[in-house]
Chain A
Amino acid sequence: MSAAAPPATNPAVPRFARTAHVARKERSERVARVVFALMAAAMVVPLAAILGYLLWKAAPALRLEFLLDVPKKGMTEGGIWPAFVGTLYLVGLSLAVSAPVGVLAAVYLNEYSRDNAFTRAINLAVINLAGVPSIVHALFGLGAFVYAAQFGYSILSASLTLAIMTLPVIIASTREALASVPHSFREACWNVGASRWQTIQAVVLPNSISGILTGLILQVSRAAGETAPIMFTGAVFYKAVQRGDLLPYRLDEQCMALSMHLYTVATQVPNVQEAIPYATAVVLLGSVLLVNATAVTLRVWLRGRKRW
């Protein structure tokens, strides 16, 4: 190709003329870039608009008193304390069940299982468990925990239902965290004579604990927002509770929950003060996003500290 070596030309004259084809190509490139940017922006704008609108409508009721007070006058006035505590109960108890099972299941899938039909069946089950609609989880909770196990409509039934619902996501996030530990770490540990479990305990878990925790935190926010699964297994419209009482419920009792409360005041109760449903939504959304933001920050921070 040396025959076609470019002659030394005046730099002002481009070597390749910008043909109509190239111009068209570049134009479509610019259009595509703008269109895709707009599509991405179309996700951000509604989020901001919705958050802003909710905050604005909720502002008249948003005080600490709203959080600590109990609902009054047939839930048309007052606060949301019983619902807030109820949600804490449900989330805490469900996490206490799903976290150990989920983490151990992920350890099994990532550290013990071989690539065979059985493992593929487990993977498929995890995927499907994640895809089961929340209302079907509610039916399951009703059939299995409320009636078959005779826990009745109770916090216990509701949190077990939530636990099974959140399990697949805990398994997935934990697995990802475990898989991010390089295989050479494990080999080094095996080579000094450690057993499989000793390796997991001494090397794998300490190196992936941050990722596991992030996944668990994200799960807290998911469980807190769920409504359908607890609606028929243990959450009630109203329950009388002392103002600011920290331990108002027993495990075999029904409880109020934030998500359920939002549904109730938004659709079932007439003549609610206008700001109350908005403020309930803001508290629920605020807690969920706060928990989420914590997890995201934790992850970003830890990723920065990673040493390998």
Chain B
Amino acid sequence: MTAPAPAPRPQRSRLERLGESLLEGLIRLSGVSAIVFVLAIFFFVFREAAPVVFSRNFDLWKFLFSIEWYPTSASNVRYGTFALTVGSFAVTALAMAIAVPFGLGAAIYLSEFCGRRLRETLKIVIELLSAIPSVVWGFIALTVTSKLVVDATGAAVGVNVLNGGVVLALMSVPIIVSIGEDALKAVPDSYREAALALGATRWQVVYRVLLPAARNGLLAAVLLGVGRAVGETMAVLMATGHAVHIPGSLLDSVRTLTANIAAELGEAPVGSDHYRVLFLTGVLLFCITFAVNIVADLAIRGVRRRG
């Protein structure tokens, strides 16, 4: 018996092969686009800020740590962003104080306590919650929660740290829940089974086994929530009022780094020092969120390596 001659391999036309290599080139190009864009963002934002950075009377120390922000003063213009930084941190800290316990609690409930049906439903709710645009949150803060804040505390104005913190908490809960749940799910079931076999209750499993085991992932969830809260613009612009100073209490109005850019960029003449300093604030924000994201990424990776 003779083996049938192998069918000749169908040759693809030159055009087809050329098209394919073009496409693969395009794919590779798109692959590096993320790096290009991150660098481009830094480059173009810094480029607008550069003239003021390299001018003789610029003082980085004062820019970062002076609380005097008088960009439009006629006699003595000063650009100190410290009050804005403190404002950002105050609002973010309050938001995290509310969102972290609730977010992690909800994540634990989702992954350990509730049934499959309920979990799917709750996950859809979380997705919808995270889909609400920030300007709508800002509007809610302005019209709904600010009144509640005034009613509850007797504050003079409803747009203050507390109001902004509450709204930011609502905004960052979804991300904390979804990443936190992923982190808990990543803990191998054998850990749970071992603990249950020893007679532990689910709650004991959670706080003796899961929380220590998922520590890094939960940290990442919190950090990503922080990143979201620090970078949030429209909601805090509408929710926290417009006083540039270090807040003395929860009921003081503040302004954050992000809101400051949004509020003043429209009025600063293009090319003026004020305009460039706002871009420099953007660079500062970029660096802060960059650092937070890298730490979060390292934390998540720590989880993967062990899992």
Q: Which A positions have Cβ atoms within 8 angstroms of B?
A: 25-26, 28-29, 31-33, 35-37, 39-40, 42-44, 46-47, 50, 53-54, 57, 100-102, 104-105, 107-109, 112-113, 121-122, 124-140, 142-144, 147-148, 164, 167-168, 171, 193, 195-198, 218, 221-222, 224-228, 231-232, 259-260, 262-263, 266-267, 277-278, 281, 284-285, 288-289, 292-293, 296
Stretch at the interface among B186-194, B209-217, B281-289: B281-289
Using A132-B289, A135-B285 as known contacts, say yes or no to A263 and B201 having CB atoms under 8 A apart: no
Q: Is the Cβ of A125 less than 8 Å from the Cβ of B35?
A: yes
Q: How far is the CB of B269 from chain A (nearest CB, A)?
A: 14
Stretch at the interface among B58-66, B76-84, B132-140, B244-252: B132-140
Using A124-B297, A132-B231, A143-B48 as known contacts, say yes or no to A43 and B285 having CB atoms under 8 A apart: no
Say whether B128 faces chain A, with CB atoms less than 8 Å apart. Answer: yes
Which of B109, B173, B204: most chain A CB closer than 10 A? Answer: B109
Q: How far is the CB of B249 from chain A (nearest CB, A)?
A: 24
Q: Is the Cβ of B227 less than 8 Å from the Cβ of A107?
A: no
Q: Is the Cβ of A36 less than 8 Å from the Cβ of B105?
A: yes
Q: List 20 A-B contacts (CB under 8 A).
A: A28-B201, A33-B202, A35-B105, A39-B105, A39-B106, A43-B174, A101-B30, A107-B27, A130-B293, A132-B286, A133-B233, A142-B265, A226-B133, A228-B258, A231-B266, A263-B139, A266-B138, A277-B139, A288-B132, A289-B132
Dominant SS at the B interface? Answer: helix
Chain A residues in 8 Å Cβ range of B227? 131
Closest to A229 in B: B233
Q: How far is the CA of A281 from the CA of B133 in the complex (A)?
A: 10
Interface positions, chain B 108-130, Cβ under 8 Å from A, are 108-110, 112-114, 122, 124-129
Chain A residues in 8 Å Cβ range of B234? 134, 227-228, 259, 263
Say whether B143 faces chain A, with CB atoms less than 8 Å apart. Answer: yes
Q: Is the Cβ of A29 less than 8 Å from the Cβ of B106?
A: no
Closest to A111 in B: B27
Using A40-B114, A104-B31, A107-B27 as known contacts, say yes or no to A29 and B105 having CB atoms under 8 A apart: no
Q: Is the Cβ of A40 less than 8 Å from the Cβ of B109?
A: yes
